Amino acid sequence: MFELRSKCGTILFVLLCFFLSGVHAESERTDYNKYYQFPFSMAVEYQAISPFGAYGADFNIFEASAAFRIPLPGLPSVQPMLQLGIGQYDSRNYLGDGDKWDFTQVFGGLGAVYAQRFSSDFEVGLGLSGGYSQAFFAGLETAKTYTIPYLYAELFGSLALDPSYNMSIEIKPRLKYQSALPPEGVVLNDFDGLVMGVGVSINYRFGEDPDSAASLIRSLKFGHIRLPAVFAAMQSYYVKKPAGTFTITNKEDQPIEDLEISFFQSALMDAPTSCFSIDELAPGETIEIPVFASFNEKVFLAEGITPYTGELIASYEYGSRPVEQRQTISFDLHDKTALTWDDERKVAAFITPADSALRNYTSYIRQTVKEEALPGYNSRVQDAVNIFNALTVIGCIYQSDPTSPFTSVQSNLEAVDSVSLPRDTLKRITGDCDDLTVLYCSLLETVGIETAYITVPGHIYAAFNTKLPSSKYMELHPSRDLMINLDGEIWVPVEITLIGVSTFNEAWKKGASEWLAWDKEPEKRGFTLTHEAQTVFRPVGLKESDLGLQYGNPQALVDLISKDINLIRTESIAFYKDRASSRGKKQDYNRLGVAYSRFSDYASAETVFNKAVRQDKNYIPALVNLANIETLRGREDQSLGIYYNILETMENTGKDNSAVYGKILLNIARIEYNTGEIKSAGENFKRAEVLAPDDSLAFSYIAGADEGVRASQSDYSNNLLFIDDEE
């Protein structure tokens, strides 16, 4: 008897541990309780019982019962229970009185079981019940049967194996306490107290197996599935913008809950992409769902057009049962060179400044021509000239696409066009207008120049930001018609089809004329900023490798660049020279001198600045600019002397609060910074910042310098301020 109690206690303890661990893990796994819930179950049970106290003799005690459980619909783990049964106490010898203490006990009770299911075929439960019983003693007195009522309560556990949905076999240890309620005058409490038993029950559970073919739930109807061609170049786009759409309809007469929709393509995704979720879909309701897709890098390995079949996955609850429903969806994947022209921003996905092959190429270009750089002319225009001519040197030329020319695909929004990646165009050294545009923009972006692309009917070409305020357009060229003013900054258009056959100067003029040609119909031309478009269409992924490029003859590149810059110089100087010759004013000579300085012709600049000073020896712009020439020639001591004399003159004439005064202070601070006079440079910068705040922005590095730290010699072109006229 002791051994039985020990085993029962161990079993109950183990069951309790299983029960508690199951409650903790419930939120972390599939809810098998809901999935395998049943409406009603009926069980038969047999168990042997052992009392904790002695009855005065050995008894064989057993119970047979029937139990009925009805799980709660919303919480199937909780199962109210009704139990009816009969027990038999059979004494082998009780005080030498034979079988007179044998009795039968009929009982009935109510209770509840908490059952935790860990898999389709294993569950653990813990229950509590109580009830009423009648014990019938037939042998206590001759011709009289005593009926003694009892109350009882019991705690039990269950360890269940479920070979099928409808059948369950349970091992059930239990502790039971009973107490007699004998009639008045009868004392019979011999069988009061605690007993323990271990039983076996067989349960039949009504309902339909959710794993059977007949019970598969298909509450959703998929319809109007539209997933047109998918483009590898748009990889980043499909994460936030749909690649297609489809509809779902709830076919049932009750709502679907906790609906989640995802899309998965095993070959191209690391995990399903979430598309949509909703707490409840009403009966008969139809909604349209977007198809989002988070493709991995393997999408860029596709060549040509590849058919794929993915899956739409719907997870939901119907009738408190978890359901997963899948629908296949087919699509064609186009490789990373393909796109359609329904959104011109897509072109930005092919502009790839992070490509190391492009960075190596532009680094070579800069190193080759660094000695030819003009300190006073806009560095961004010079970089654009350099890259344009470098492409010419390696033999890059425009060639129309014979299969899908831009003129035909631009107007057909569904037509699939092919745009080569810049590295491929650079290696092939031919391309149509879209190929050369993305190549040129990519190379400019590689050296930090902001780009855009212009579309007009039948054509696309490049543009770049000079970062020069629109009011200073004459620092680039005297013709305003050559520039595009965008948000107060000057942009330069470049006709890229002239690469290899003409000069940058001609490409600039041709690009400007194509822009102006649509002035009366501006809606027919587009201007797309690369960086803005790439917030939606990020650059395509690259498997980088050495292109093995031959960069061409360095001297040929230098010669072409010199020719191009000289054309711009000639046109600019001619404009100012004609004005100075015809009007002969000091202001015109000063502007002519500034133009000469811009193109590093310091001797000619000095000559015309002196002409202006001979007309007016106190003409401050020309005096400042003469000091700047000394700075550019490396004679800082002489230029500082001139600057300080000018400042003294301005102080004496009450002009020490002007913007010109501030510009002179900035020029002085710049020299001091480059010669290690950091403290004095900082003080002059602070004074100048108040008088010339816009110009001071280019000198902000002075304010953050540590005293006593000598800077490396800076490029004078970045922030030496010439004065065009009195300000």
Reduce the DSSP state of residue 548 to 3 states and report it: coil
| C-alpha distances out from residue 521 to 414, 508, 518, 524, Å | 24, 21, 5, 6
Dist CA 724 CA 727 (whole Å): 9
CATH topology of domain 217-334: Immunoglobulin-like (2.60.40)
Beta strands in 162-192 (DSSP E): 167-180
pLDDT tens digits, 506-555:
999 999 999 999 999 999 999 999 999 999 999 987 777 777 777 888 99
Average pLDDT, the chain: 87
What class does CATH assign to 342-552? Answer: alpha beta
Reduce the DSSP state of residue 558 to 3 states and report it: helix
Q: Residues 605, 621: contact at Cβ < 8 Å?
A: no
Q: Residues 116, 75: contact at Cβ < 8 Å?
A: no
pLDDT tens digits, 557-567:
999 999 999 99
**Average pLDDT for residues 112-123, to the nearest whole number?**
91
- Amino acid in the structure at residue 589: Y
Phi, psi of 322 (to 5 degrees): -70, 135
Dist CA 627 CA 641 (whole Å): 8
Beta bridge partners of 119: 122
Q: Which residue has the tokens 């009007």?
A: 583
Q: Residues 221, 248: contact at Cβ < 8 Å?
A: yes
Beta strands in 95-142 (DSSP E): 103-119, 122-141
Dist CA 340 CA 409 (whole Å): 8
Q: Other CB atoms closer than 10 Å to residue 295's CB: what's the count?
A: 23
Say whether pLDDT at 707 is over 80: no
Reduce the DSSP state of residue 33 to 3 states and report it: helix
Dist CA 273 CA 295 (whole Å): 9
Confidence at residue 405, expressed as pLDDT on a 0 to 100 scale: 61
Closest CA to 106 of 58, 141, 64: 64
Beta bridge partners of 453: 462, 528
Q: What is the pTM of this model?
A: 0.69
CATH architecture, domain 568-718: Alpha Horseshoe (1.25)
Biggest CA-to-CA distance, the chain = 153
Dist CA 442 CA 449 (whole Å): 9
| H or E element that contains 279 | strand 273-281
More confident residue, 611 or 229: 611
**Average pLDDT for residues 132-143, to the nearest whole number?**
76
More confident residue, 94 or 356: 356
Dist CA 509 CA 567 (whole Å): 12
CATH number for the segment(s) 2-205: 2.40.160.20
| C-alpha distances out from residue 349 to 482, 484, 495, Å | 28, 24, 21
| H or E element that contains 306 | strand 305-318
| C-alpha distances out from residue 411 to 348, 565, 716, Å | 19, 38, 48
Confidence at residue 482, expressed as pLDDT on a 0 to 100 scale: 96
Say whether pLDDT at 571 is over 80: yes
Burial letters 334-356, b for 16+ CB under 10 A, else e: bbbbbbbbebbbbbbbbbbbebe
Angle at 161 between CA 158 and CA 167, to 5 degrees: 105
Angle at 490 between CA 487 and CA 496, to 5 degrees: 120
Dist CA 108 CA 86 (whole Å): 9
pLDDT tens digits, 321-374:
788 899 999 999 999 888 888 889 999 999 999 999 999 999 999 999 988 888
- Indicate left, alpha or beta for 467 from its phi (over 0: left) and psi (-120 to 50: alpha): left
Confidence at residue 81, expressed as pLDDT on a 0 to 100 scale: 95
pLDDT tens digits, 347-360:
999 999 999 999 99
Say whether pLDDT at 8 is over 60: no
More confident residue, 16 or 504: 504
Q: Other CB atoms closer than 10 Å to residue 324's CB: what's the count?
A: 10
Closest CA to 552 of 390, 428, 692: 390
DSSP 404: S
Confidence at residue 675, expressed as pLDDT on a 0 to 100 scale: 86
Annotated domain spans of the chain:
2-205, 217-334, 342-552, 568-718
Assigned token pair, 523: 């809606």
| H or E element that contains 313 | strand 305-318
**Average pLDDT for residues 288-307, to the nearest whole number?**
92
Report the share of the chain in percent with pLDDT over 70.
88
| H or E element that contains 13 | helix 2-25
| H or E element that contains 381 | helix 379-393
pLDDT tens digits, 478-492:
999 999 999 999 999
Reduce the DSSP state of residue 223 to 3 states and report it: strand
Angle at 202 between CA 200 and CA 207, to 5 degrees: 150
More confident residue, 80 or 91: 80
Q: Residues 291, 227: contact at Cβ < 8 Å?
A: yes
Dist CA 386 CA 367 (whole Å): 11
Cβ-based burial of 704 (10 A; exposed 0-12, middle 13-18, buried ≥19): exposed
The residues, any chain, with a CB within 8 Å of residue 511's CB and separated by 6 or more, are 454, 461, 462, 463, 492, 493, 494, 495
Assigned token pair, 673: 């910074």
Reduce the DSSP state of residue 339 to 3 states and report it: strand
Assigned token pair, 518: 């649509």
Dist CA 394 CA 544 (whole Å): 21
- Amino acid in the structure at residue 590: N
Closest CA to 129 of 180, 187, 65: 65
Beta strands in 142-243 (DSSP E): 144-161, 167-180, 193-205, 220-226, 230-231
Dist CA 19 CA 77 (whole Å): 11
**Average pLDDT for residues 583-587, to the nearest whole number?**
92
| Dihedral angle over CA of 379, 382, 388, 389, nearest 10 | -140
Instruction: Tell how strand 305-318 and strand 122-141 pair up.
Output: unpaired
Dist CA 231 CA 311 (whole Å): 18
Q: Where are the alpha helices (DSSP H) in 198-316?
A: 237-240
pLDDT tens digits, 34-74:
878 888 999 999 998 888 877 766 778 889 999 999 999 88
Q: Residues 407, 523: contact at Cβ < 8 Å?
A: no
Dist CA 388 CA 378 (whole Å): 16
Phi, psi of 167 (to 5 degrees): -120, 135
First to last CA, the chain: 113
Q: Residues 499, 392: contact at Cβ < 8 Å?
A: yes
**Average pLDDT for residues 501-505, to the nearest whole number?**
96
